[in-house]
Amino acid sequence: MSKLDEPDTVEAPVLATPSVWSAIRESLRGNLRQYGMIVALVLIALLFQAMTYQYNGGILTPVNITNLIMQNGHILILAIGMMLVIINGHIDLSVGSVAAFVGAVTGVLIVQWQLPWPLVVVVALVLGGLIGAWQGFWIAYMRIPAFIVTLGGMLLFRGLAQRVLDGQTVAGFPDGFLQLARGYLPGGEGLHVPTVALGLLAAGVVVWLEWRGQQQRVAYGLPTGPSVLFWLRVAALAVVINAFCVTLALHRGLPVLGLILIALIVVYSFVMNKAVVGRQIYAVGGNEKAALLSGVKTKRNTFWVFVNMGALAALAGVIFMARLTSVSPKAGVNFELDAIAAAFVGGASASGGIGTVVGAIVGALVMGVMNMGMSILGLSPDWQQAIKGVVLLLAVAFDVYNKKRVKS
């Protein structure tokens, strides 16, 4: 056989196996926005812990961590809804007034009309959804900018809240209602065993979900990185979840509000990451025209995002009212600014299409840790507002820098 008859042989390229450190570096570089906020939360918490350690052990004691959840629960709820609105490419300035109005109606129905509080809570959520539908109609179908519509809503519902309460503060809620924001899961004295058990269960579920996702990536032939890095990440998640639960267990256990927040985070994370409607929200926020040409009903998508925001604003108003044990016409002031700041600090893009539910929670916790730390240090409200403003500006600047880095 001549040389020309010999079959051509092509040597397969030899791919170098990336080291663990190079894989970590590439992973951090590819997820700079997400990991950056988590690292910032850890650094800010450690900084304030060192600065406040002389005040009864600092901000990372079990009591203060529990208070962090209970004092910022309404902002965490609003931040989830606001993140969806921003991902969709809009903004909502009315959530504080909506929370105040729904809280006012709820207070009147429970205290003055003596209706059963579980029924009133359902009515409040429906009322919030209807308010969201009102605003969503003007934004989605009449194409009026969300900034204008929700600015009008901020004035409208603030005025209605004052009208419903007639300038008075309403108090005297039943204990069952107050437990929504002030109660804890039942348990014995000392270490709260149900909270520890929930931590172990949650860690087991997270490990299983991560392992299942890894197996699916292998089945589809997607890059998975070194297995050592995968198991280190899973182990770190399990340690953090259990450490958090044990910390709460040292002080009366998991609050009822914490259970509500966990349910919201799980449901909304699933919707945004796995459900079709979540993908459509990202698509509309990223490029509305392209989403429309792809068959996405963009108007209906935007409409339901605002319905969802209205319902979450109502829930936040109910939770805030239960924590204060009263409702007043001034409730909910600046809630919208805290929620918007939490979403942007948590990695939302000002141009839409980018953001995560977990990022919104991380952003709200960053703001909450700063509030608590500065309060313990005795900083005046003026300085607290100024520092939070700088943090918000840095978060948006980080977003702009990240976009330029990706384009280059």
Domain ranges of the chain: 52-183+258-407, 188-254
pLDDT in tens, 16-56: 555 666 666 666 665 666 667 777 888 888 888 899 888 88
Of residues 312 and 390, which shows the higher confidence score? Answer: 312
Q: Taking residues 279-303, what's their average pLDDT?
A: 93
Residue matched to tokens 């939302």? 348
10: confidence class by pLDDT, cuts 50, 70, 90: very low
pLDDT value of residue 308: 97
Which of the 8 DSSP states describes residue 7?
P
Q: Do 380 and 363 contact (CB within 8 A), yes or no? A: no
pLDDT in tens, 52-100: 888 888 888 999 999 999 999 999 999 999 999 999 999 999 999 999 9
Tokens of 343: 């979403």
CATH of segment(s) 52-183+258-407: 1.10.3470
pLDDT value of residue 23: 63
Number of neighbours of residue 377 by Cβ within 10 angstroms:
14
pLDDT value of residue 110: 95
Q: Check pLDDT > 80 for residue 196.
A: yes
Mean pLDDT of the chain: 86
User: How far apart, in Å, are the Cα atoms of 239 and each of 243, 245, 400?
Assistant: 6, 10, 33
Q: Calculate ∠ Cα 50-54-57, nearest 5°.
A: 80
User: How far apart, in Å, are the Cα atoms of 377 and each of 36, 51, 54, 68?
Assistant: 26, 8, 10, 16
Tokens of 339: 């929620």
* 170 strand-pairing partners: 327
